[in-house]
């Protein structure tokens, strides 16, 4: 095989053969295909797309570049959820223990935040003592003992994807749906789960800004899962406003615990229960109903065991930022817009997120939303509270919120659950 021939095939609009895909992924992972050659191929894929068979084979080649986990030693079916990311999206935290409380095992490999979108591992690391790095044997032990584990993916899982992801980030090819879909699904399939539910976010705070693009991504990922024998379902869900009232690591952990205690914001509860029902159905588990497991405390019991099993103290006080700034409502009326992207960037600038993967985060930083779109507000009432370690961060955070709030404007909110793709 020759890298130039592979590039030319896709550049000219052709379909890559299985042999070409297997060779180029393996050679790139080994360093035999140069970065500039893979950059050219990624751009050709962005411009010309891929057929379904190509995407399936590309995903398989990335899986084959590393190890594949399996959970046959467990006495219950496995199921998992992946979200494409958003602002205030803390759903994994209450969801994993909730699904485990209903009889499934949840081996959840999660990531860290970058830019305005938060990361599940950053949120959980705000709990004193909790650790994200577990070996496969430790994951199995936690799953056996609690039914759920949330941790970082090891370096042996789809290493080709890790290398290609970094390249896409610096070559303007992140937006390619075949490359996004194969990146996500290669890791999820290698994770070894028996069923997968995808939460594909739509709106200003999401990677996919339109329903049409989100649906295309969802359909591509569901097709990949189906082609690999993995029961896969996708929901398109709203990210035109923040999810819940808390945006920021420790703030979101506290809100997740409220949900597990039977309270919390209605949208977080609704989406958590909806996704739990999808995960259990995909795993072939008919009951009990997840809403009951939130009410009776069984999901909270699993949460406490899960956090403790990974070294965390579920009773320890969470970090709190020492500095706050209150943003008040500019007028009286109905809050019709609270832009997810603006709030997410504000939280990032307050210290809750990172610009580069190696940057630290402030666990206490973030934004508390005192009202949600559709609610009545009075001029001068607290609308947002900004939390930071350093008051010098407030000015840039406030700049991000310029134009993010609208009162008595046109009502055009997306429904929380927009569509279901199977």
For 421, residues 6+ apart whose C-beta sits below 8 A from its C-beta are 200, 215, 218, 219, 222, 233, 234, 235, 236
Distances (CA, A) of 372 to 111, 202, 237: 27, 18, 17
* 387 in active site: no
* 209 in active site: no
Residue 396 DSSP SS3 = helix
* 12 in active site: no
In 134-223, which ranges are E strands?
A: 148-152, 195-202
Residue of 57, 82, 245, 393 with catalytic role: 82
Residue 178 DSSP SS3 = helix
Inter-residue contact 175 to 211 (CB < 8 Å): no
Q: Can you tell me the distance from the alpha carbon of 283 to that of 105, in angstroms, rounded to the nearest whole number?
A: 9
Inter-residue contact 103 to 170 (CB < 8 Å): no
Q: Can you tell me the distance from the alpha carbon of 360 to that of 350, in angstroms, rounded to the nearest whole number?
A: 12
Residue of 90, 187, 241, 393 with catalytic role: 187
Q: Can you tell me the distance from the alpha carbon of 366 to that of 106, in angstroms, rounded to the nearest whole number?
A: 28
* 354 in active site: no
Residue of 182, 183, 204, 256 with catalytic role: 183
* 168 in active site: yes
CB-CB neighbours of 109 under 10 Å: 25
CB-CB neighbours of 34 under 10 Å: 12
| DSSP labels, 226-251 | HHTT-EEEEEEEE-SS-SSSEESHHH
246 CA to centre of own chain: 16
Q: Are strands 80-83 and 106-110 parallel, antiparallel or unpaired?
A: unpaired
What are the residue ranges of helices labelled H in 283-393?
A: 290-295, 298-309, 340-347
Helix (H) or strand (E) holding 124: helix 120-124
Tell me the longest C-alpha to C-alpha distance in the chain: 68
Residue of 80, 89, 122, 161 with catalytic role: 161
Residue of 57, 116, 162, 168 with catalytic role: 168
CB-CB neighbours of 245 under 10 Å: 21
Q: Can you tell me the distance from the alpha carbon of 59 to that of 70, in angstroms, rounded to the nearest whole number?
A: 18
- Which residues are the active-site residues? 82, 161, 168, 183, 187
């Amino acid at each position: 095989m020759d890298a130039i021939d592979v590039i030319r095939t896709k550049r000219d609009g052709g379909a890559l053969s299985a042999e070409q895909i297997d060779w180029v992924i393996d050679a790139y992972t080994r360093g035999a295909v140069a970065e500039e050659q893979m950059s050219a191929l990624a751009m050709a894929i962005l411009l010309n797309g891929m057929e379904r068979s190509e995407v399936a084979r590309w995903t398989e080649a990335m899986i084959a570049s590393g190890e594949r986990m399996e959970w046959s030693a467990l006495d219950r079916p496995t199921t998992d959820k992946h979200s494409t990311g958003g602002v205030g999206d803390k759903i994994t935290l209450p969801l994993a223990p909730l699904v485990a409380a209903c009889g499934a095992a949840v081996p959840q490999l999660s990531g860290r935040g970058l830019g305005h979108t938060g990361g599940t591992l950053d949120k959980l690391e705000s709990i004193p003592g909790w650790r994200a790095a577990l070996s496969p044997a430790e994951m199995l032990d936690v799953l056996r003992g609690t039914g759920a584990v949330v941790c970082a993916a090891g370096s042996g899982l789809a290493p080709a994807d890790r290398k290609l992801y970094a390249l896409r980030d610096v070559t303007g090819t992140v937006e390619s749906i075949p490359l996004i879909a194969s990146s996500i699904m290669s890791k999820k399939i290698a994770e070894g789960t028996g069923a997968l539910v995808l939460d594909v976010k739509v709106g200003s705070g999401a990677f996919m800004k339109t329903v049409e693009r989100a649906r295309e991504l969802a359909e591509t990922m569901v097709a990949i899962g189906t082609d690999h024998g993995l029961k896969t379902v996708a929901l398109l869900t709203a990210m035109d406003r923040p999810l819940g009232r808390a945006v920021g690591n420790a703030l979101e952990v506290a809100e997740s615990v409220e949900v597990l205690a039977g309270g919390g914001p209605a949208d977080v509860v609704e989406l958590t229960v909806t996704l739990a029902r999808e995960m259990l159905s995909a795993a072939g588990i008919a009951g009990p109903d997840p809403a009951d497991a939130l009410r009776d405390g069984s999901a909270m019991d699993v949460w406490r065991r899960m956090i403790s099993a990974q070294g965390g103290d579920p009773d320890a006080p969470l970090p709190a930022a020492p500095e706050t700034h209150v943003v008040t409502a500019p007028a009286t009326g109905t809050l019709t817009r609270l832009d997810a992207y603006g709030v997410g960037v504000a939280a990032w600038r307050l210290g809750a997120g990172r610009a580069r993967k190696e940057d630290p985060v402030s666990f206490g930083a973030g934004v508390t939303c005192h009202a949600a779109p559709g609610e009545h507000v009075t001029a001068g009432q607290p609308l947002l509270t900004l939390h930071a370690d350093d008051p010098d961060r407030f000015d840039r955070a406030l700049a991000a919120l310029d134009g993010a709030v609208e009162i008595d404007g046109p009502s055009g909110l997306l429904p929380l659950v927009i569509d279901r793709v199977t």
